[in-house]
Chain A
């Protein structure tokens, strides 16, 4: 177990370093470099040279990367000249709200999708299976912004049940207006359910064909007992990995949902920054989201090893 944990931790450190390198390369790819990006298209060459010198952009690339990396480690993600705020303070305000959105969607999706997927596996190739598969396909195939708008048209405009815009303000303000959270969370949940049922179904179908399940059946256990006691437990293992794997997809979804509902999270911050070409925010957010996603999948893998003794023994 320790060896596996250390190995996996080492990999994650490499991946996190890789994410920082990719983002660093992006700062180099910016048209005209970081100085042009911050000072604007009409900056004079002299101003750019002065800026480069003041911020160390005239040093060798490796030295620049090292300086940037040490800043990152101490929590200095950059400074948004357009918003006149440190990127880390912006992220500290936004990150909890995105975690709330993504966490709630994942949690509700699990509660809905795991029983549905099991049901599909048991009723494989029957009407129930086809219906759930069909509905899941349709939700998965809908552009997320379109699904959001359809839900707004139905629940906000036609029925007037929930507000079409997410609550604004800090984390507490968002939590204080749960009705505004319903539609953003619902949108993201529907897509996540579509993803999760497919994984659960195939995982459960694989478990159903295994010998121990056949033995349990032969010993006279009812379908309910077999599913709850033998299939569910064994199918739960891949589901842990699934959450880790689908995390980037759900976070991407959160970006769209946040921009549709004007939900004040990381995705909206990123989208607004993309429209105003606010590069410090773009790059800072990407680093934080990338590192958070890498840590999320690390957590999923470690959890998997905790639950599955075979992984511990094999490594």
Chain B
């Protein structure tokens, strides 16, 4: 029906566990991951950004609550390494605080969306028949409404705040993992070990959580990383459309959309730092996701011989 389902790899002839007993699948996956230079770069970037956002304010003290209208849009210089923004916040300090919001909301939304989507897709794929058809039509319907239209509609009803942003972004993000995991479940549920578990009297839910979902962990892990990246972009887009966290809270998208108002004034320090921060973070998570996928796939490849 879709590209995603068409791409689901065919079941390899030999289950992963029968491979050399001395090396766990996760270990060999880890090995491939570490060998991938882009993945290491991505991981290092993420660590750097997390430390910058969360530990940075402990070292670099700035007031990110009270505006300071005496010192607006000051160019980078002594006291303000990245200048100040349109209401006098120190831009570097704000970058740290904004990073916290973007990372927290992105991670929370991605985890909720992937967990919910995985369970939804696994139940649909495992149950099959009418229930499957019904559940997948629900995802089709929601996928037909472009994300930003949906987000804007939600935001006219709910007042934006961190928890609301998380829920709203998760509500539009669970659809892709649901489809992916459904496709994976379709191939997993006919495997011998799942059939055997069923034959020994394992119930549907038991099989689902004990055998199907754990074996789809590769797809799920890959998806979380991509979802974090997409969620961070979604937060930025929502802030630009005026639906970000309310001040004095900040996020990179909000800083950026405030900064682009000054594109004619040449205040480059308001236009580039938050943008670069978003790009670096999103690229880093994409690198990691790609590498995780490669490591799980190459594991399957070596199994197939």
**A residues touching B (Cβ–Cβ < 8 Å)?**
11, 14-15, 18-19, 21-22, 26, 29-31, 137-138, 140-146, 149-150, 152-153, 157, 199, 202, 206, 238, 241-242, 245, 248-249, 251-252, 255-256, 259, 270-271, 274-275, 277, 279, 282-283, 285-286, 289-291, 293-294, 297, 301
For the complex of A and B, the 8 pairs showing the least CB-CB separation, nearest first, are A18-B141, A141-B282, A252-B148, A143-B236, A241-B3, A294-B144, A248-B146, A251-B146
- Once bound together, how far apart are the Cα atoms of A251 and B147, in whole Å? 9
B223 part of interface (Cβ distance < 8 Å) = no
- Residue from B145, B233, B256 in contact with A290 in the complex, judged by beta carbons closer than 8 Å: B145
- Once bound together, how far apart are the Cα atoms of A27 and B30, in whole Å? 49
- Once bound together, how far apart are the Cα atoms of A231 and B184, in whole Å? 26
Which of A248, A255, A271, A285 has the most chain B CB within a 10 Å cutoff?
A248
Which partner residue on chain A sits nearest B145 by CB separation? A290
B138 to chain A, nearest CB (A): 7
- Residue from A31, A144, A248, A293 in contact with B237 in the complex, judged by beta carbons closer than 8 Å: A144
- Once bound together, how far apart are the Cα atoms of A306 and B289, in whole Å? 34
- Once bound together, how far apart are the Cα atoms of A149 and B240, in whole Å? 12
Which partner residue on chain A sits nearest B134 by CB separation? A14
Known: A289-B149, A293-B146. A15 touches B260 (CB 8 A): no
Inside 8 A of A30's CB, which chain B residues have their CB? 157
Q: Mark B219-253, 1 if CB is under 8 A from A, else 0.
A: 00000000001000100110011100000000001
Instruction: Assess whether A157 is in contact with B264, with CB atoms less than 8 Å apart.
Output: yes
Which partner residue on chain A sits nearest B286 by CB separation? A137
- Residue from A141, A153, A245 in contact with B229 in the complex, judged by beta carbons closer than 8 Å: A141
Pairs across A and B, CB under 8 Å, 13 listed: A18-B144, A141-B279, A145-B260, A146-B278, A153-B263, A248-B144, A256-B237, A271-B152, A282-B153, A289-B145, A290-B141, A290-B144, A294-B144
**B residues touching A (Cβ–Cβ < 8 Å)?**
1-4, 6-7, 137-138, 140-150, 152-153, 155-157, 229, 233, 236-237, 240-242, 253, 256-257, 260, 263-264, 271, 275, 278-279, 282-283, 286-287
- Once bound together, how far apart are the Cα atoms of A30 and B279, in whole Å? 35
Inside 8 A of A31's CB, which chain B residues have their CB? 157
- Residue from B155, B240, B242 in contact with A256 in the complex, judged by beta carbons closer than 8 Å: B240
Instruction: Assess whether B138 is in contact with A18, with CB atoms less than 8 Å apart.
Output: yes
B123 to chain A, nearest CB (A): 19
- Residue from A140, A142, A248 in contact with B145 in the complex, judged by beta carbons closer than 8 Å: A248
Known: A22-B142, A245-B3. A143 touches B263 (CB 8 A): no
Instruction: Assess whether A301 is in contact with B1, with CB atoms less than 8 Å apart.
Output: yes
Known: A274-B156, A301-B1. A137 touches B140 (CB 8 A): no
Inside 8 A of B242's CB, which chain A residues have their CB? 275
Instruction: Assess whether B3 is in contact with A242, with CB atoms less than 8 Å apart.
Output: yes
Inside 8 A of A301's CB, which chain B residues have their CB? 1
Q: 9 additional contacts, CB 8 Å, given A11-B137, A245-B2?
A: A30-B157, A31-B157, A141-B286, A143-B240, A145-B236, A157-B264, A199-B3, A251-B149, A294-B144
Which of A19, A146, A251, A256 has the most chain B CB within a 10 Å cutoff?
A146
Instruction: Assess whether A271 is in contact with B241, with CB atoms less than 8 Å apart.
Output: yes
Instruction: Assess whether B146 is in contact with A146, with CB atoms less than 8 Å apart.
Output: no
B132 to chain A, nearest CB (A): 13
A2 to chain B, nearest CB (A): 18
Which partner residue on chain A sits nearest B260 by CB separation? A149
- Residue from B1, B149, B155 in contact with A286 in the complex, judged by beta carbons closer than 8 Å: B149
Instruction: Assess whether A241 is in contact with B260, with CB atoms less than 8 Å apart.
Output: no
- Once bound together, how far apart are the Cα atoms of A297 and B1, in whole Å? 10
Which partner residue on chain A sits nearest B157 by CB separation? A29
Inside 8 A of B263's CB, which chain A residues have their CB? 149, 152-153, 157
Instruction: Assess whether A238 is in contact with B240, with CB atoms less than 8 Å apart.
Output: no
Inside 8 A of A275's CB, which chain B residues have their CB? 242
A210 to chain B, nearest CB (A): 13
- Once bound together, how far apart are the Cα atoms of A144 and B146, in whole Å? 15
A99 to chain B, nearest CB (A): 14
B270 to chain A, nearest CB (A): 11
Which partner residue on chain B sits nearest A259 by CB separation? B241
Inside 8 A of A242's CB, which chain B residues have their CB? 3
Instruction: Assess whether B3 is in contact with A286, with CB atoms less than 8 Å apart.
Output: no
- Residue from B6, B233, B260, B287 in contact with A238 in the complex, judged by beta carbons closer than 8 Å: B6
